Amino acid sequence: MICSIYSDKRVPHKRLIALALFMGWFGVVSFLAWTHLVWRDEVRALSLALGGNNIFAMLKGIHGEGHPAIWYLLLRASHALVPRPEVLLLVAIVVAAAAMLILVLRAPFSLLFLTLLLFSPFSMYEYSVMARNYGISMLCVFLFAAFYERHRDRGCLLGVLLFLLANCNVPSSLLVGGLLLFWFVDIFFDETAIRPRNIRIFLYNAALAVLGVTTCFITIFPTFNNAAVLAPSSITFNKLICGIFLPALQFSSASAQLKSGMPWLGWPLTIFMSLILFGSTLGLIRRTGAFVAALTTLVGFSLYFKIVYPGDYRHQALWLVLLICLYWIAAPRTVQETPAYPLRLNPYVSRLSTYGKRLFVLLLLLQLPHCIHKIIRITTDPVTTLSNRVQEESISAILAGHSDLKQAVIMADPDYLVETLPYYVSNPTYLMREQRYGNVVHFTRKAQLELSLGDVLTNARRIREETGMPVVILLSHEANPSLPAQLYQEGYDWEFSTTPEQARAFQLSTHLLKHHFGPVESPDEEYYAYVMDK
């Protein structure tokens, strides 16, 4: 285990070695991105970003989508420069690479610890290969760490960064609150600070941060995806206790692999992982503001995931990014405050700090198996990787292999199967449940919640008559007349039904083009592609 996360100044050419590590990271991430099968959520963001005739129309279009505007603005601007769908992955990699470059060049960490951070799941995949808005949060947080010491007591640069951070995604608002708390406590415990002046500058920057959170709220509410909204669960004493004292129940991704291999561990593992999460903050105990902010945001995220919205790894890892930022700022060479503990407690505080750093390293190490497995699977089985990539592009291959389908209208059930298509083809897409053309689904209760295979056939015939174009139909379930009547639950409130009679009628009017298996990461994107015959 690494005893110290901070750099050893005696290491020669440390910066060159760090840059070499970065280039290794960049090479692996680029390869993973090249083999990555884009998901609906990724392409949906690009479709929204390109909507509208201008930026103002685009901003109006994303109002209520559930994510603030920065990612969409970045995608639209980048697409204006490089008008290709691949710009989606390119922007994600550039943002992540900027964050990692700042980390390796400016952070006061040891080479071993930098290696651990570079090859952690969030930096290697979730915030780089996955083209989502969480990588911008990482970049903003690392910029805050890099500029904090020089700009804490002057200017509004930090406030601007917090404004941007608040508009990356909703959970990042918790990061904004944690960094403001750290900043305020840090001023309070700094004996060298000119407090009236520093507090005044802090308030100016805090106002910018609050404005950012307000802008985020105005952008995402009220949501038009009202069927997809998870109502906050009722607050009970048990939920509060679990949220406050057992964060591992909500931060389950770090221990998921251990549980899958040893399910009998159960509660002992949950308690153990909760102790590691809490213990990871102890390494900051010498910098009171950092310790208070880390502990508060851990509980804050845990309660948010428990009561408001259950978090996936991409949400949970935001707290790890904050912890990295706080350890960065709290590095020994940047400590300015007077210790808040009596001198006789210094040996115990020093020991706790050492144990906390080791637990933080352990927390990061526990997440490596999944990342290593993904890299090994891709690098040792490139044939499978390439065949999966070709299969994901199969809709493009299907249409290219049939000259009469190049202008075909594509419709699907569930409707969201068409959301990935703009990355590969430019065919018009029709959303049956909302009775409109488009490639961004609104998960609204005003849509047609109940749909049958007979309705699909009726819609397809109508579209063909109206447009004169061939119609391709994607279904997540095979039209099989040998099966009894079926009722499938889809999306959030959607139902899809079939009967043997409907399946026979469907088969008489269509023929199967392709059975596409969804990627392992997103098996719900499997579909059967049919084309209307008559």
Domain finish residue from 377, 398, 419: 377
Whether residues 140 and 78 share a domain: the answer is: yes
pLDDT tens-digit series, residues 100-158: 999 999 999 999 999 999 999 999 999 999 999 999 999 999 999 999 999 999 999 99
pLDDT value of residue 1? 41
Whether residues 311 and 443 share a domain: the answer is: no
For residue 129, give the nearest of 500, 465, 385, 430 by alpha carbon. 385
Whether residues 31 and 128 share a domain: the answer is: yes
pLDDT value of residue 383? 41
- The answer to whether residues 399 and 425 touch, using CB atoms and an 8 Å cutoff, is yes
Better pLDDT: 140 or 271: 140
Better pLDDT: 519 or 475: 475
- The answer to whether residues 145 and 152 touch, using CB atoms and an 8 Å cutoff, is no
pLDDT tens-digit series, residues 85-107: 999 999 999 999 999 999 999 99
What mean pLDDT is predicted for residues 244-250?
91
pLDDT tens-digit series, residues 406-445: 889 999 999 999 998 899 888 999 999 999 999 999 888 8
pLDDT tens-digit series, residues 330-343: 986 544 444 566 66
pTM: 0.90
**How sure is the predictor about 220, in pLDDT bands with cuts at 50, 70 and 90?**
very high
Whether residues 358 and 460 share a domain: the answer is: no
**How sure is the predictor about 268, in pLDDT bands with cuts at 50, 70 and 90?**
confident
What mean pLDDT is predicted for residues 458-482?
94
Better pLDDT: 367 or 437: 437
Domain-located, residue 9: no
Backbone angles phi, psi at 379, to 5 degrees: -75, -25
Compute the residue count for the chain: 534
State the burial class of residue 212 (Cβ atoms within 10 Å of its Cβ: 0-12, 13-18, 19+): buried
Contacts of 55 (CB under 8 A, 6+ apart): 73, 76
Whether residues 339 and 419 share a domain: the answer is: no
Domain-located, residue 136: yes
Better pLDDT: 312 or 213: 213
Peptide bond into 414 cis (omega under 30): yes
**DSSP letter at 425?**
-
Q: Which domain holds residue 278?
A: 14-224+236-377
